[in-house]
Amino acid sequence: MESDPRQPATLLMAANGTAIDRNQLDAFVDHQMRELQIPGLALAVIGDGRILYTAARGVANLDSGEPLTPESVFEVASLSKPVFAWLVLQQVAAGLIDLDVPLHQYQALPELADDPRHLRIT
């Protein structure tokens, strides 16, 4: 499936401030899929709280050949760990939590009351 044709031609700024054209991004994704033998991927670029770009390429299931769509659901497995870490660090940056404060000070865990080790987990 192609990227959304309703997207503006220039939609992103790279980290170095260079504008990135939607067609360039499409070509880059296609090239990486070929080079790395990626059977399918879905991609969304979000900026300023808006979806700037969506694309889906390849298949969701190698056996059935089911195509990917921007609405395809993926099992996140271990990918949730860095997302959770990012969310925690956002709370640290906002001053809402301190990584050096034991977790039990934020959430009581009565089911662990008999095991004092939980008092040291930060």
pLDDT of residue 2: 47
pLDDT of residue 45: 80
Considering only CA atoms, which of 89, 10, 87 is closest in space to residue 45?
A: 10
Who's near 116: CB < 8 A, 6+ residues apart? none
The C-alpha atoms of residue 62 and residue 68 are separated, in whole angstroms, by 11
What is the per-residue pLDDT across 72-118, written as a single tens digit (0 to 9) for each?
888 777 788 888 899 999 999 999 999 999 989 998 888 988 888 98
Annotated catalytic residues are: 78
What is the model's pTM? 0.52
pLDDT of residue 18: 67
